[in-house]
Amino acid sequence: MHPLQHLSMLITGLILLGTRYEKFYEISGTCPENTEGAAFIAGDKEKFMTYAMTAHAAACILHWFNQIFNHFEMKVIATFFTVAKMIIFFIIMIKIQSGTDFDDKSGAECVEVIS
């Protein structure tokens, strides 16, 4: 992704959380205890949003480091920052996707997002 896309996602997340924090995380429904859905309602939703915003911020910073080192003709170090950006971003996105893909049916059915 281009750094401006990462920056826009980061700013959008900050605006959503800053203006409608309670409504943003509002979820109706009940879940049986010790299910993935109950863990999501209890706090994983905030954790995953923090992961996503951190991934976008890290991607921007690492991309800019890449550009700085490319400017000074330090190609190996610049490439290191590009590879680090991709690895960090992919790992965090996989972590978020696996955390919101409920394995047990009871956990998935109890989470109903209010729009």
Parse the chain into domains and list their residue ranges. 3-113
What pLDDT score does 70 carry?
A: 96
Q: For the residues 5-34, what does the mean pLDDT come to?
A: 82
pLDDT tens-digit series, residues 61-72: 999 999 999 999
- The pLDDT confidence band at residue 99, using thresholds 50, 70 and 90, is confident
What pLDDT score does 34 carry?
A: 79
Residue 81: partners with Cβ closer than 8 Å, 6 or more residues away: 62, 63, 65, 66, 69
Name the amino acid, one letter, at 53: M
pTM of the model: 0.77
Q: Which residues pair with 27 in a beta bridge?
A: 113
Question: Does residue 105 register a pLDDT over 90?
Answer: no
Q: Average per-residue pLDDT in the chain? A: 83
What pLDDT score does 87 carry?
A: 95
Residue 89: partners with Cβ closer than 8 Å, 6 or more residues away: 1, 55, 58, 59
Q: For the residues 100-115, what does the mean pLDDT come to?
A: 60
